[in-house]
Each structure stands twice: as structure tokens, then as C-alpha cells.
Amino acid sequence: MDLNRGIISAASKLWNDLFADRQFYAFEFLRNHKIKETTVDFFCAEARFIVYIEDRPTQAEIRVRNAFKKEVESSGYKFVVLSKWEIDDQYSEVVRLLDREFISQSRFQCG
């Protein structure tokens, strides 16, 4: 059994629906982009926006993720953490969250 299959499926849905081919506010997103030692699911350099999807992280993984989040946010990036469950079961809410966070970050970057 592939434990990452659920995350891959959730990421594929977001990629196909939102981020591929500049669909999301005409910004270019990269998929599975590596920043230092961490691979993030979606990355937009121009808007300084990062999306990270996880599924049932351990406490140690949460600590590492939070340290990474703090580091990238101190450099001006917005780091959004989503769970596979949220994407699967609350998709419309996830899209609204991403929309809200992206607009907030874009205004910050442009203003």
C-alpha cells in the first residue's frame, strides 16, 4: 500500500483545478518544489506563496514543519498547511482559504 497515494491524489486535484497553467490569478506555480531540505507541494516565487499538504504527521514532523514555516514566513513567504482530509472532505472551503490567503499575501507583496 502506498501511504503517499492520498496526498498525491489531493495534490493532483488542487494542481489540476487551481494551479496548473497559470489558472490561479495568472501566477505561475511549481509543483513539488524543493526549498532547502523540504519539498513543498506548490510554490509561487512571484507571490511568495507556498502550499504544503500533509497527512497525519507525527509530533516530530510537526515540529520540523513549524520550524520551516517560521523560517520561510520570516523571509516574507506565506506558508499554508493543508491536510489531505481537508482537501478530500472540505474542498470548497480549502479553495476559499487558498483564495483568501493568496489575495492577502499578494496585497502585502504589492503594497
pLDDT band at residue 3, thresholds of 50, 70 and 90? very low
Query: Beta partners for 7?
Result: none
- Which residue's C-alpha cell is 505561475? 28
pLDDT in tens, 29-38: 999 999 998 9
Residue 10, classified by CB atoms within 10 Å of its CB into exposed (0-12), middle (13-18) or buried (19+), is: buried
**Distances from the Cα of 31 to the Cα of 6, 59, 107, angstroms:** 16, 26, 23
Instruction: Record the pTM.
Output: 0.89
Domain ranges of the chain: 1-12+64-111
Quick: pLDDT tens for 37-89: 899 999 999 999 999 999 889 999 999 999 999 999 999 999 999 999 999 99
Query: Percentage of residues in the chain with pLDDT exceeding 90?
Result: 83
**Judging by beta carbons within 10 Å of its beta carbon (0-12, 13-18, 19+), is residue 95 exposed, middle or buried?**
middle
